[in-house]
Amino acid sequence: MSGTRTRPGAGFLACLIAPLAAGVLLNALIRPGLARALGGERHSTGAGVRSNNVLWTFDPDTTAEHPILTALLTPSDGAVAAAMLALTALLLTGHWLITRRRPAREAQEG
């Protein structure tokens, strides 16, 4: 083993940061704004030091009028964060597979 360390590439950093940034933006700005605009009721569970788990509910009329939006807004913040974490793992696995195959392909061509 050589002991030299390489810096992570832009693709790796994009796979790591983009889903996490999207999750923060969704949970902090986009979902609360849309939910308030649709007249959603905020429910907060937990008494943790860091944050509460927030979810939104809507009356049947709003749900019937905006089924896609209310379906996207009803999962809790924790569920959105877990989905973004799973997406991060999936993207990093895909990045690893692609970069692992690239040197093997270059060796066959060279």
Per-residue pLDDT tens over the stretch 48-93: 666 788 889 999 999 999 999 999 999 999 999 999 999 999 999 9
Residue 100, classed as helix, strand or coil, is helix
User: Residue 10's pLDDT band (boundaries 50, 70, 90)?
Assistant: confident
Question: How far is residue 88's CA from residue 96's CA, in Å, rounded to a whole number?
Answer: 12
More confident residue, 9 or 68: 68
Phi, psi for residue 3 in degrees, rounded to 5: 85, -5
pLDDT value at residue 6: 72
Q: What separation in angstroms does the CA of 58 have from each of 14, 30, 32, 61?
A: 35, 16, 13, 8
Would you state the structure tokens that stand for residue 105, as one six-digit string? 């392909």
pTM given for the model: 0.77
The single-letter DSSP state of residue 38 is: T
Give tens-digit pLDDT for 20-59.
999 999 999 999 999 999 999 999 887 666 678 888 999 9
pLDDT value at residue 101: 79
